[in-house]
Structure 1
Amino acid sequence: MERYSFEDSVTVRTALVGVCDGCKADPDKTGIKLKKCTGCSAVWYCSKKCQTEAWPLHRTMCREQSKKSSTHELGFSSNASLANAIKLWGNIHVWALQTIVDGTAHRIGGGVDDHLENQRAVIVVLTQKKHTDPSDRENPAKAFQLGEVYLVHKDQREFLSTQWSHLEAYCKTMTDNMRAKLSEEESRAFAGFIPAAFHFYTTGMVSFNQYPLYRLRAHGGGPSYNYPRTEEETMTCIEVGYHCGGLVNQGLVLRAPEGDDNAALPEFGVYKKTGKKSWGWGHAKGWKWYESEDYKPLAEIFRRYHQLLAHRNYERVLSSALLQRIALMKVWQR
Structure 2
Amino acid sequence: MEDYTTTYRSEFSRSSKVCAWCNRAAPRGGALKRCRGCNATIYCGRECQAAAWPAHRPVCRNPDPEASGSSADAAGYATPIALGRAIREWAGFHEYAIAVYLHSMLRIAGGVEASMRERRVFLFFLVSQRTPEECASQPADGNPATAFILKEARLVREDFSSTYKREENLSPNADFRPPGIPEEQAEAGAIPVLWIVNGATFMVTTHYSMYSATHHPDDAPPGDAMAAVFKEMSQIFMTFMNYGIVLHPPENPRGLAPPESGKMVQARKGWRWQRDRRAWRTVKELMPHHGITPQTPFSPTDLWMHFWSCEDVMHMSVAYESYTRWSFRYNIIQPRPSSPIFIDPSDRKPRKAVPYMRCPNIDAYIWLSLPLPLQYSCGWVGLERSVGLRHGRRTICRGHTSQVGQQRRDSAVSPRQTVREWSEIHKYGLTVLAHSTLRLPRGVKANLRRGRVLVFTIEPSRPTQSSATPENPATAFTLCAIKLVEAQHAPSLPSHESLELSRLAAEFDEPGFRGDSGSDGHARPAGYVPVCFELGSAVVYTTQYAIYRASHHSDDTELEDKTIRVFNDVTRVFVTLINNGVVFRPPSEGPAAPLPDVGRMVRGRDGDGWRWQWQRDPGAWDMMGMLMPLQDISLQTSYSVTGLWARFQQW
TM above 0.5: yes
Map of 2:489 onto structure 1: none
Consecutive unaligned residues of structure 1, counting only runs of 5 or more, are: 179-183, 317-334
Hey, what's the Cα distance between the residues in 2 that align with 1:111 and 1:233?
Answer: 13
Paired with 1:235 and 1:257, the residues of 2 have a C-alpha distance of 24
1:299 match: 301
Task: Compare the two structures and name the one with the higher helix fraction.
Answer: 1
Q: For 1:200-244, what per-residue CA distance to the aligned partner results, in whole angstroms no more than 9, with x for missing partners?
A: 23323211111222233540xxx533x232222100100000011
SS in 2 for 1:89: helix
Superposed CA offset, 1:131-186 (max 9, x none)? 9x99996211111111211211123xxxx24234433x346x76xxx9xxxxx954
Q: Which residue of 2 aligns with 1:280?
A: 272
Deviation at 1:259? 7.3
2:10 is equivalent to residue 14 of structure 1: yes
Say which SS state the counterpart of residue 80 (structure 1) adopts. helix
Alignment CA distance shift 1:291-1:211 (3 Å): closer
Once the two structures are TM-superposed, the CA of residue 312 in structure 1 deviates from its matched residue by 11
TM-score, normalised to structure 1's length?
0.69
- Tell me which amino acid in the other structure corresponds to 1:86: I
Is the 2:256–2:305 Cα contact (8 Å) retained in structure 1?
no
Post-superposition offset of 1:197: 1.4
Equivalent position amino acid for 1:91 in 2: G
Partners of 2:122 and 2:155 within 8 A in 1: yes
The alignment status of 1:83 with 2:50, answered yes or no, reads no
- Matched-pair contact (CA < 8 Å) for 2:35–2:43: yes
2:152 is the alignment partner of 1:151: no
* Contact 2:196 2:204 (C-alpha < 8 Å) held by counterparts: yes
Shift of 1:288: 7.4
Letter in 1 for 2:250: P
Matching residue of 1:43: 41
Q: CA deviation at 1:263?
A: 4.7
Partner of 1:103: 104
Kindly indicate whether the alpha-carbon contact (under 8 Å) linking 1:93 and 1:253 is maintained by their aligned counterparts in 2: yes
Given that residues 262 and 315 in structure 1 are in contact (C-alpha distance below 8 angstroms), is that contact kept between their aligned partners in structure 2? no
- Report the Cα distance in structure 1 between the residues aligned to 2:80 and 2:225, rounded to whole angstroms: 42
Write the letter of the residue equivalent to 1:271.
M
Call closer, same or farther: CA 1:55–1:240 in 2, change over 3 Å: closer
* 8 Å contact kept, 2:284–2:300: no
The TM-score with structure 2 as length reference comes to 0.38
Alignment equivalent of 2:234, drawn from 241, 253, 259 = 241
1:257 maps to 2:250? yes
- 2:211 corresponds to: 214
**8 Å contact kept, 1:217–1:307:** no
SS of the aligned residue for 2:199 comes to: coil
- Superposed counterparts of 1:166-181, under 5 Å: 166-167=166-167, 169-170=168-169
Partner-residue secondary structure (3-state), 2:122:
strand
Distance in 1, Cα, partners of 2:87 & 2:616: 30
**Aligned with 1:216: secondary structure?**
coil
Structure 2 residue matching 1:7: 3-state secondary structure: coil
Structure 2 partner of 1:231 = 224
Which protein, 1 or 2, shows the higher relative CO under an 8 Å CA cutoff with sep ≥ 6? 1
- Contact 2:119–2:158, Cα closer than 8 Å, also in 1: yes
**2:9 touches 2:20 (CA, 8 Å); kept in 1?**
no
2:192 aligned partner:
195
SS where residue 188 of structure 2 aligns?
strand
Distance 1:273 1:96, change over 3 A: same
Determine if contact 1:22/1:50 at 8 Å carries over to the other structure. Answer: no
Change (3 A) 1:128 1:113: same
Counterpart residue type for residue 6 of structure 2: V
Letter in 2 for 1:13: R
Contact 2:17–2:25 (CA under 8 A) maintained in structure 1: no
CA distance in 2 between counterparts of 1:22 and 1:161 reads 14
Partner Cα separation in structure 2 for residue 189 and residue 97 of structure 1:
20
- C-alpha contact (below 8 Å) 1:306/1:312 kept by paired residues: no
SS of the residue corresponding to residue 236 of structure 1 reads helix
Q: % of aligned pairs identical?
A: 25
The 8 Å contact of residues 89 and 141 in structure 1, kept in 2 or not, is answered as yes
Q: Is the 8 A contact 2:187 2:209 kept in 1?
A: yes
Give, in angstroms, the shift of residue 76 of structure 1: 2.9
CA pair 149-259 structure 1, distance change in 2 beyond 3 A: farther
Partner of 1:105, secondary structure, is helix
Q: CA distance change for structure 1 residues 247 and 274 in 2, over 3 Å: closer, same or farther? A: same
Instruction: Specify whether residues 123 and 257 from structure 1 end up closer, same or farther in structure 2 by C-alpha distance, changes over 3 A only.
Output: same
Residue type of the alignment partner of 1:42: A
